[in-house]
Amino acid sequence: MEKILIIGASGQIGSELTMALRKIHGNENVFATDLKQVSVEIIESGPFQILDVMDDKRLIHFVIRHKITQIYHLAAVLSGNAEKLPLQAWHINMQSLLNILDLAKEVDELKKVFWPSSIAVFGPTTPRIDTPQLTVMEPNTVYGISKLAGERWIEYYYQKYGVDARSIRYPGLISYKTEAGGGTTDYAVEIFYDAIRKGKYECFLSENTKLPMMFMDDAVQATIKLMESPVDRLSIHSAYNVGGISFDPKELNEEIVKRLPDFKISYKSDFRQPIADSWPTIIDDSLAQKDWGLETKFDISKLTDTMLDGIRKKFEK
């Protein structure tokens, strides 16, 4: 029986991954933790505790006391926020990962770790279309540098100590349960909230900034599939490319206007524009499909319907 620790369970991914893992492994076997309170759904369905991943002593106590077998480490400072406090973001993103990897090296019962990477590992010198799994990687953001270094560390721990840490280079994730947490792709979440709340949205990226994106259900299913794959099926021990669907703000606006004809978008690029311009537009994820069966179910139309319905229902409650 697995005992799973989620770090960052209040966040955009954690709030949905926690519930998906509780369905598979049983509510009482999935321990949600974060620096801040989680959703009512998570509190009412299973264990939750405030835990700071930077506090390595409490972390090791927790893992041993609850006989944890898997950790999903989701706490990080995302791209937009990281540019505001670069050294602090570097410290949190790197030290937290090293705390977890070292724990996995020392504690025999702890068999598997999941830690997300990002399309931010790529930079302006990377081929932007059909970005391959193995390619030039010269990220020019603090967040991207921390994710690339993290990928190198997890592969190092695998090769040197046999630590089974797995990772996905997530594209921008889109969901309505929790608002997005300080990233460059957040426009594709905010736009839906503002469409429902205000009928208009000022986009901080230009209309033709095409980026890879993925609806949260597809991301959660991909994560679970990767974690359930036999280790000998995996040819990558850093992080897998996962592409999802690629679109720009203009295309997303067109989808929203089909459903809300009075919706108005305007564009005012900010400091996140050069970050987005340094990232790929379309990712080649054929290796993830081949090694562990990556599939996606949401296209831009299904994603738009689901986001608008979900946010409407959330506001009706």
Question: Where on the chain is the footprint of ligand AKB (CB under 6 A)?
Answer: 78-79, 118-120, 143, 172, 183-185
CB of 91 or CB of 257, closer to ligand NAD: 91
For residue 53, the partner it binds in ligand AKB, ligand NAD, none, with Cβ less than 5 to 8 A by kind, is ligand NAD
* Tokens matching residue 96: 């937290």
CB of 71 or CB of 110, closer to ligand NAD: 71
Cα distances (angstroms) measured from residue 170 to each of 212, 223, 232, 316? 9, 10, 22, 31
CB of 193 or CB of 260, closer to ligand NAD: 193
* Cross-strand bridge partners of residue 50: 34
Residue 176 among the catalytic residues = no
CB of 257 or CB of 284, closer to ligand NAD: 284
**Shortest distance, CB of residue 237 to ligand AKB, whole angstroms?**
20
- Could you tell me which stretch among 3-11, 23-31, 265-273, 285-293 binds ligand NAD (CB under 6 A)? 3-11
Cα distances (angstroms) measured from residue 98 to each of 51, 113, 138? 16, 12, 22
Out of 18, 118, 209, 296, point to the residue binding ligand NAD (CB under 6 A): 118
Assess 14 for contact with ligand NAD (CB under 6 A): yes
- In this structure, the number of other CB atoms found within 10 A of the CB of residue 302 comes to 13
E strands along the chain, which residues?
4-7, 30-34, 48-50, 70-73, 112-114, 117-118, 164-166, 168-170, 172-174, 200-203, 211-215, 240-241, 245-247, 264-267
Out of 36, 65, 160, 317, point to the residue binding ligand NAD (CB under 6 A): 36
What length is written for the chain?
317
DSSP helix/strand/coil, 283: strand
CB of 214 or CB of 311, closer to ligand AKB: 214
**Is beta strand 240-241 parallel, antiparallel or unpaired with respect to 48-50?**
unpaired
CA distance 286 to 134: 12
For residue 75, the partner it binds in ligand AKB, ligand NAD, none, with Cβ less than 5 to 8 A by kind, is ligand NAD
Assess 11 for contact with ligand NAD (CB under 6 A): yes
For residue 243, the partner it binds in ligand NAD, ligand AKB, none, with Cβ less than 5 to 8 A by kind, is none
Site string for ligand NAD, 76-95 (x = CB under 6 A): x-x-----------------
> Measured at the alpha carbon of residue 315, what is the angle toward residues 297 and 14, in degrees to the nearest 5?
50
User: Which of these is catalytic: 72, 143, 157, 158?
Assistant: 143
**Shortest distance, CB of residue 313 to ligand NAD, whole angstroms?**
21
Show contacts with ligand NAD in window 180-209 (CB under 6 A). Answer: 181, 183, 185
- Could you tell me which stretch among 9-17, 230-238, 299-307, 309-317 binds ligand NAD (CB under 6 A)? 9-17
Phi and psi angles of residue 32, each rounded to the nearest 5 degrees, phi first: -90, 135
Crossing angle (nearest 10°) for helices 56-65 and 86-106: 30
Of all residues in the shown chain, the one whose CB is closest to ligand AKB is: 183
What is the strand order of the sheet 48-50 is part of? 48-50, 30-34, 4-7, 70-73, 112-114, 164-166
**Shortest distance, CB of residue 168 to ligand NAD, whole angstroms?**
8
Exposure string of 188-223, with b = 16+ CB inside 10 Å and e = fewer, is: bbebbbbbbeeeebebbbeeebbbbbbbbbbbbebb
**Shortest distance, CB of residue 7 to ligand AKB, whole angstroms?**
17
The overall longest dimension of the chain from CA atoms, in Å, is 58
Instruction: Please identify every residue annotated as catalytic.
Output: 143
Interface contacts to ligand NAD, rule CB under 6 A = 7-8, 10-14, 34-36, 52-54, 74-76, 78, 116, 118, 170, 172-173, 181, 183, 185
